[in-house]
Amino acid sequence: MSVKDNTENGPPQTVPIQSETFSNPINAEIRRAAATGIYDIRGGGAKRRVPHFDDLLFLGASVSRYPLEGYRERCDTKVTLGTRFAKKPIELDIPITIAGMSFGALSGRAKEALGRGASAAGTSTTTGDGGMTPEERGHSSKLVYQYLPSRYGMNPDDLRKADAIEIVVGQGAKPGGGGMLLGQKISDRVAEMRNLPKGIDQRSACRHPDWTGPDDLEIKILELREITAWEKPIYVKVGGTRPYYDTALAVKAGADVVVLDGMQGGTAATQDVFIEHVGLPTLACIRPAVQALQDLGVHREVQLIVSGGIRTGADVAKAMALGADAVAVGTAALIALGDNDPRWESEYQKLGTTTGAYDDWHEGMDPAGITTQDPELQLRLDPVDAGRRLRNYLNVMTLEAQTIARACGHNDLHNLEPEDLCALTMEAAAMARVPLAGTEWWPGKSGSGF
Amino acid sequence: MQTYDLEAEGLRGLNASLHAQSEQTSQTNWEVVNPKGSHAIAVGLDAPIEVSVQGSTGYYCAGMNKQATVHVKGSVGPGVAENMMSGLVKVDGDASQYAGATGHGGLLVIKGNASSRCGISMKGIDIVVHGNIGHMSAFMAQSGNLVVCGDAGDALGDSIYEARLFVRGSVKSLGADCVEKEMRPEHIELLRDLLARAESDAKPEEFKRYGSARQLYNFNIDNAY
């Protein structure tokens, strides 16, 4: 019986049919826009469904490959970043780093917790727009200092205190866009660090003030190396847009490390339309970037860090199998600290949202006390406990990735390879350049005739 | 006087030598010869030394300077004294784009002209340009003072925050949210001091002051375009 042929209450009638195009969420947004005249601003990354690591599977060992014993046999996780030019590369125990998130967007206690958790797990954390705080430096055994277009808080002393420098060209949530920290999060301390009045909306520029293009970038990197005596690894972070060319140009400019952030990567605040409609899914970024490194003969010499939607050890293993040297987590780290935790459900509901959907990070009213500068809300986050949760989470992800690697017969996470993977969908097969499950074929494979 | 031949001895050796100077150094006077447009000369200095560069430089000369006095006896490429924290940088010739970009403190003096985006995103630095400046100068300028003894190009002070802009000549156009403001006695005094330190004989009373109308300080959709 057709859904239109409803005969239960009399003559056949047409039942109401919701439009796939004009769905209830779309219609609600149209009404909201019509009522307010302003676009929607939110935090986080893309929420739409895009091809992702879930669309890949590991094949595991078989007759042609033998596995390593799951708990006892060695499977190395260490990674060294910055081996190309830096005198003092960063050595990490695990290939999972904490992505750049600013003091200002996050509370000082949240930044401290990130430092504590990362340090306990043997990995690095990263500053963000707004500069380096003493508590962040003090609690981070390895700290990457972001060099951003705004240059808020930038100074040579902190540059020299850092363990690495990350030149941020863009980020996955908003490649080509700047940022904004709304006035309600501009406390006295945030204002002082950024040389701006308290309470005003602070704009972060979309491009650097003193260089444009890859030829200039090469000279900027030279300057930063000279200031820091060629000691610090220099990363170049790009949003996922043209990963082959961006990676190649970063290498040409002299980067030690390329950080590639897909559209699922989060932001503290930008327009929803930007988050959902600009940039590439993380899965689509990795193989072109690795191809660029291989074409230039620097794969593994210039390390690749991938971020944007990394949640589990399986995601870590898949990113590394596709050629990444390490990954970075941002949103997942905040969730480990306590972001969007069900314990705050009643307060999320007062804010018109619910657990798991809270993304008004820019408004500074985070019930979990993480994305806020409110003095009372901040106290809800215990940096010691939160740091412990983050350490546990990082450890679990590492153990999960090791489990998969051993099952595939590898004694180092970096030995994972595309041949360990298959894809569940045509799209994922094309993006990851691994065979569709049960076949030897993927769209675009040379000689495939497709 | 320590003389360093940049062409013969290389950039790394120069910056390493200058970085090795401390507050108590007795080697306070340095002369750099044969700069020949090299980039990143005398960057990241942090000692009360005087460095004289005998010729023109490339990008980022005296970048992130603290305490030191750097005198370029020629012209400079893009980003001279970018992100300067303190000290004095003086350029006898002209400056390319982004002079004094994001500077937090200190004084940058350009005896000639400065190209576009002079003082972009400045955060406390004082800049005195004896000649003219190009378009989009003082874009998103946060704090500090930009003094222009000549003319200013298009879109001066676009999206400006709390920096003060003083221009003696004409302004081709003002950027978004930048307006002319009253020149009060404290501004005359401030300007008199800056001009004297920059070795300019211009009179403070000849300048007009520009700054933020503060209409973009909180997001308003009507300001988006």
Collapsing DSSP to helix, strand or coil, A187 comes out as coil
Give B9 to chain A, closest Cα distance, Å: 15
| Residue A195, in any domain of the structure | yes
Size of interface A-B (CB pairs under 8 A): 102
Q: What's the mean pLDDT when you consider all of chain A?
A: 94
Residues of A in contact with B82 (CB under 8 A): 209-210
Domain B2-223 has CATH 3.20.19.10: no
Distance in angstroms (rounded) separating the CA atoms of residues A241 and B133: 35
Average pLDDT of the residues in A147-176 = 96
| Residue A252, in any domain of the structure | yes
Lookup result for tokens 């040579």: A156
Average pLDDT of the residues in B13-22 = 96
How far the first Cα of chain B sits from its last, in Å, is: 56
Tokens (6 digits) for A357: 């959907």
Decide: pTM greater than 0.90. yes
Interface contact A222-B98, CB threshold 8 A: no
| Residue A37, in any domain of the structure | no
- The kind and range of the H/E element at A258 are strand A257-261
Tokens (6 digits) for B147: 């003094």
Give B147 to chain A, closest Cα distance, Å: 20
- The number of angstroms, rounded, from the C-alpha of A449 to the middle of its chain's C-alpha atoms is 35
Closest chain A residue to the Cα of B223, Cα to Cα:
A38
CB distance A401 to A349 below 8 Å: no
pLDDT of res. A445:
86
Tokens (6 digits) for B106: 């200190």
Residues of A in contact with B63 (CB under 8 A): 223, 227
| Residue A131, in any domain of the structure | yes
Residues of B in contact with A209 (CB under 8 A): 82, 98, 101-102, 117, 120-121, 139-140
What is the full DSSP assignment across B183-212? --HHHHHHHHHHHHHTT----GGG-EEEEE
CB distance A169 to A237 below 8 Å: yes
Task: Give the amino acid at A284.
Answer: A
pLDDT confidence band for A190 (50 / 70 / 90):
confident
Could you report the predicted ipTM of this complex, rounded to two decimals? Answer: 0.96
Interface contact B162-A196, CB threshold 8 A: yes
| Residue A20, in any domain of the structure | no
pLDDT of res. A178:
83
Residues of B in contact with A37 (CB under 8 A): 221
Lookup result for tokens 């020299």: A160
Residue pLDDT, tens place only, B107-153: 999 999 999 999 999 999 999 999 999 999 999 999 999 999 999 99
pLDDT of res. A200:
79
E-strand ranges in B35-167 read 50-54, 69-72, 88-91, 107-110, 123-129, 143-148, 164-167
Interface contact B121-A151, CB threshold 8 A: yes
Indicate if the pLDDT at residue A449 is higher than 60.
no
Domain count, chain A: 1
- The number of angstroms, rounded, from the C-alpha of B23 to the middle of its chain's C-alpha atoms is 24
pLDDT higher at A8 or B50 = B50
Residue pLDDT, tens place only, B175-199: 999 999 999 999 999 999 999 999 9
Closest C-alpha among A279, A338, A289 to residue A309 = A279
Residue pLDDT, tens place only, B55-113: 999 999 999 999 999 999 999 999 999 999 999 999 999 999 999 999 999 999 999 99
Indicate if the pLDDT at residue A209 is higher than 60.
yes
Of B40, B104, B143, the CB nearest to A222: B40
CB distance B38 to B67 below 8 Å: no
Indicate if the pLDDT at residue B223 is higher than 70.
no
Distance in angstroms (rounded) separating the CA atoms of residues B103 and B125: 5
Closest C-alpha among A221, A250, A201, A248 to residue A147 = A221
- Domain limits at A426? 44-432
What CATH number should be reported for the domain holding residue A237?
3.20.20.70
Indicate if the pLDDT at residue B221 is higher than 60.
no
Tokens (6 digits) for A234: 């220099």
Give B80 to chain A, closest Cα distance, Å: 9
Q: Which of residues 11-70 of A touch B (CB under 8 A)?
A: 37-39
Indicate if the pLDDT at residue B225 is higher than 60.
no
Distance in angstroms (rounded) separating the CA atoms of residues A379 and A113: 12
Any CB–CB contact under 8 A between A201 and chain B? yes
Average pLDDT of the residues in A418-441 = 97
Q: Which of residues 209-228 of A touch B (CB under 8 A)?
A: 209-211, 216, 219-220, 222-223, 226-228
CB distance A450 to A443 below 8 Å: yes
